[in-house]
Structure 1
Amino acid sequence: MIRILLSTELGKRRWSQADLARMTGIRASTIGDYYNELTDRINLRHFELICKALDCDLTDILVYHPDEDTPVKSRSGAPLHEQPPKE
């Protein structure tokens, strides 16, 4: 699973979502979706603007955590590959 740690980074700086929206020009509702991790798609230009505003690296706000309980599926819902049995 990929996590968006925008809430953590804003909290460190004591910034509000509205502050970030004003600084980046990204709609407040979009910032809110990223902040609350309610999106399954991201705009790379948005994250470029967010990184510049927060003076951080992309790896500070996007983190990959392998989650073995969630199999990777294709758009049709079929598994992309079989998971090896757990030992």
Structure 2
Amino acid sequence: MIKTNLHIELAKARMTRKELSKVTGIRESTISGYANNKYVYIAKDHIDKICRVLNCTPNDLFEYIPDDEE
């Protein structure tokens, strides 16, 4: 399973989901889905926008957890 650490990166940047939404143009409900790991896929352009604003890399945003550790 791949999970996002978006909530961690937002906390590091001292930014809310709403603020990230305004800066990136990504709907707040979409960002909430990403932060809560309730998504089917994440568009590459969203990853790019989020990383630029939060000054992080995709490696910071995502974590791989083997199925046996869930």
TM-score for the superposition, normalised by structure 1: 0.74
Identity %: 39
Aligned to 1:39: 39
Cα-Cα RMSD: 1.4
Between structures 1 and 2, the one with greater helix share: 2
Match of 2:19? 19
- In the alignment, structure 1 residue 8 sits paired with structure 2 residue 8: yes
What's the CA shift for 1:69?
Answer: 6.5
Q: Indicate the residue corresponding to 1:64 in structure 2.
A: 64
Runs of 4+ in structure 1 deviating by more than 6 angstroms, as ranges, are none
- The code of the aligned residue for 2:28 comes to A
Q: Structure 2: state its 5+ residue gaps.
A: none
Q: TM-score, normalised by structure 2?
A: 0.90
2:48 aligned residue: 48
Q: Larger radius of gyration, structure 1 or 2?
A: 1
Aligned length: 70
